[in-house]
Amino acid sequence: MTTCTFPCLLCSKIYDTKKKLQSHERTKHKNNKSIPHYHILDKPSEEILSFYRDAIIIRLKSSLGFNRHSIGKKHIVIDAFPESVFLSLFENENSFKYIPSQRKYQCILEGAVGGEILKSILKYDQVIFRENKNTSTKGYILLKDNDGQYKLTFIWRQKEWKENDRLFLTGILSINFITNSGGFINDEENQILPSVQESSSNGNHILHTINKYNVSSILSQSNNNNVQIYNKPRYRYILPYSQFKNISLNNK
């Protein structure tokens, strides 16, 4: 009778059950970034990376809606996602880790910083939101609000299928996150924009800008200054935010 053994690929330990091996990995190699088989993986071309970046962007954007019924936890799956592509996109991030016994990779992006990292990885600044200009509403991936920060989790795992003495392998990318939506209306607000002053000596223009001040106080101080009153849109939410304090994908 053959006894099955489960060696740790990161050290010399050997276990008699897979459960013990996984427990060892969780305690001794919790944030492992070492990939023993890394040398056999081909580096994908920029064309292939661009293709799969687009696939992620399309799936993320299509999960965003414009009303309160489209908000909440989201879980999307992209089949036949190459392992080498996941590594090329995420391996340099601080939260990246690899679990050998499960042939599983994970990368977690959190908060506003995580949103900026995702934009950089996917090379698209508008990846975390989607706008409907006709209704002035926006659906977006929730990464930060008054209650705290939220996580966007990317997981790649190998999937196996055995049939007729054959082993079929493929890779699956899953993404977990939370979405929210908001709408805007315009309120008119009087503000003052000083006129552009032109230098008589060298022709250079000096532009003075006023962001947000009390109109009456500026008027009283301006005296004979040449000023122009203009109306600037001010935005406020008209759709209530849902409370996400208790839904953070169990990773918060």
Check whether 124 has a pLDDT greater than 80: yes
Q: How confident is the model at residue 219 (pLDDT cuts 50, 70, 90)?
A: very low
Inter-helix orientation angle 46-62/83-90, to 10°: 80
CATH of region 1-30: 3.30.160
pLDDT at 28 over 90: yes
- Does residue 47 have a pLDDT over 70? yes
Instruction: Note the pLDDT of residue 2.
Output: 63
Q: What are phi and psi of 189, to 5 degrees?
A: -140, 120
Phi-psi region of 66 (alpha: psi -120 to 50; beta: other; left: phi over 0): alpha
For the cut 90, the answer to whether the pLDDT of residue 227 exceeds it is: no
The overall pTM is greater than 0.75: no
What is the rounded distance in angstroms from the CA atom of residue 125 to the CA atom of residue 58? 14
| Strand (E) or helix (H) holding 53 | helix 46-62
What are phi and psi for residue 227, nearest 5 degrees?
-125, 155
For 137, residues 6+ apart whose C-beta sits below 8 A from its C-beta are 66, 67, 131, 181, 182, 183, 184, 239
151 and 95 Cβ atoms separated by less than 8 Å: no
Take residue 36 and report the two structure tokens written for it. Answer: 């023993």
CA quadruple 122, 126, 131, 133: dihedral positive or negative? Answer: negative
Q: What is the pLDDT of residue 193?
A: 35
- Residue 207 has φ and ψ, to the nearest 5°, of -110, 125
How much is the pLDDT for 217?
Answer: 41
Q: Residue ranges per domain, the chain?
A: 1-30, 33-182
Summarised one tens digit per residue, pLDDT across range 70-100 is 899 999 999 999 999 999 999 999 999 999 9
* Token digits of residue 220: 């009283």
Quick one: pLDDT at residue 108?
98
Q: What are 169-209's pLDDT values in tens digits?
A: 999 999 999 999 987 554 444 433 333 333 334 444 333 33
pLDDT recorded at residue 12: 86
Amino acid in the structure at residue 101: S
- What type of residue sits at position 76? I
**Cβ-based neighbours of 37, under 8 Å, separated by 6 or more:** none
pLDDT value for 70: 86
